[in-house]
Chain A
C-alpha cells in the first residue's frame, strides 16, 4: 500500500523571517483581496477533498478508480474564478477539482464517488462522470478528449442564442493528441465561438511522458496553426491563471473568439490511486511538491502582501477540512440506490 500522500497535511508554513513583509503593503495586488481569499479557500477545498478521496479509495469505501487533482488546483481555481455561474465547463477523468471550482457541492460529489443515490448522478456515473448542469458543469468525462465537442457545442449554443455565456474545455496533454481537438478548435476559430481551451499539461498521459508521443514542446504552439491565440501559463500560479483566463473570457464574451491556454502543471500523485509511478522519478515529483505547490505559492503571496496572516489561512484550512469530513460522513451515511433505478434516466 502506498504511503499517505505527502501534502496530506496542510501546506508548509511560511518561515518567520518572510512573514515580516506583511507590513509593507504592495502598491497593487494581482487580484482583489476577497478574490484571493476565495481562491485560497477553493484550492484548499480541492486539496482536502482529494486527500479524503485517497483515503476513501484506500479503505475500499468507493468503487471504480480515483484520479486525483492534487498539485493542479491552481488551474481549475484560477480558471473558474474568472467565470460566472452560468458559464459552462467540460471536465475530464481527473475532474473533481474542476467540479469543485465551478461550484460543485462537496457532499453530493462525495456521495456520487461512493456510488450513492444522493450523488450528483444518482450513483450512475461515479468519479469520472460528475456533472451539475445547474452550475454549468456539463460533465466530467471518461473518454480522453470527450469534452471538446461538448464544450465547443455549448459555445456555439451561446452564440446562436445571443447569450454572452462562455464555455471552457479542460483537457490534458494526452487529450491534445486526439483528432477531435483539431476538428472542434478549428470550428471555434473559424466561427469566433466563445470557447476557452485549457490544456492541463501535467507532462504525462497515464504512464507515458507527453514528449514521447507529442511533436511539439508547447501545446499552445498548435494554436497558431488553428487560427487562435495560444498562451502559456505557469499552472502552479493561480494568479497567472486567473489573469490569463480573465483576458480570454473578456475576449470571448465580446465576440472576439476562442483562446487556447496551456497550463504547465504536474500531478503530485500517480495517474490514479494505486499507480506505482515507475515511469517517473521520486526526485522529479518531489521537486514539484517543494517548489510548485500552488496552495503554498498563493498563501505565501497573501502573507507577503499583507492580505492574510498565516494563522488566518490555517484557520480557513481547518474549517474547510471539517466541511470535507462532513461530506465524507454524508457520503458514507447515504443509502445505495435500489437496483430498479438502473432502469431510470435512459430516455428523456
Chain B
C-alpha cells in the first residue's frame, strides 16, 4: 500500500507543481485526446518525449515513478494479453488455436494499447503527485462554474468536496485507532477467507460510521454558528490566478498537438 503512489501528492518545488491546477486538469484531458490520436511510431515517439520532459520538469525521479506504477502493471498486462489473444483477424496470422488468434494486427495493436495505458497512467500520476488534492478540488469547481447556467449546484458540490478532503486524514486516523482498539480485543483484520475478512470489517465500520455521523452533526452546527447559510452567497478567500507559465505550457501542448496531427497516419 505504501509504495502505491497513484493519487498521492509529493510536495516539491517545480514549475509543474506551480502550474495553475485548472491548466493542469485541462491539459490532462487534452493529453488523453492526444494519446488517442497518436497511431504510429513517430506520434508515439513525440508523446513519449513529451511525457518524459514533463516528468523531468516536475523534479520527480523517474525511478520513483516507475516503482510507483508497478502495482498497476498487472492491470495493463492483463488488458494487453486480452487484446493480443482476442483481437479480430487482420494481417499475418502467427498462431491459431480454437478461438484464439495471434495476428500481426493484434500484436501491433496491443503494443499501442500498452503504450497508451502507460502514458495515460504516467501523466495522471504526474497530475496527482504535483497537485494538492485541495487544489485539484478548487480547480475542478472553478472549471465546472459554467454548469451553474444549467442549475448544477457547483458551489455546494465544491464545498462538499473540500470538506470531504479535509476529513480524509481525520477519519483515517480514527480508523487506525479503532482497528488497534479492536485488535486489542482479539479481532483479526485481513485474515482468513473473503467472508471472514468482510466480517472482521464490521467492528471497524460500525464505530467509524457512528463517529462520522456525529462529526457531521457537530460540523453542521459549527458551520451555522459561523454564519454559513448556503454556498452560493459567499465570497472566496482562495482564488486561482492564471500565470504566464500556464499560457506557455498551453502553447507547448498546442505545438505537440499540431505535430501529432502532421505525423499521424490518416
A and B part of one assembly: no
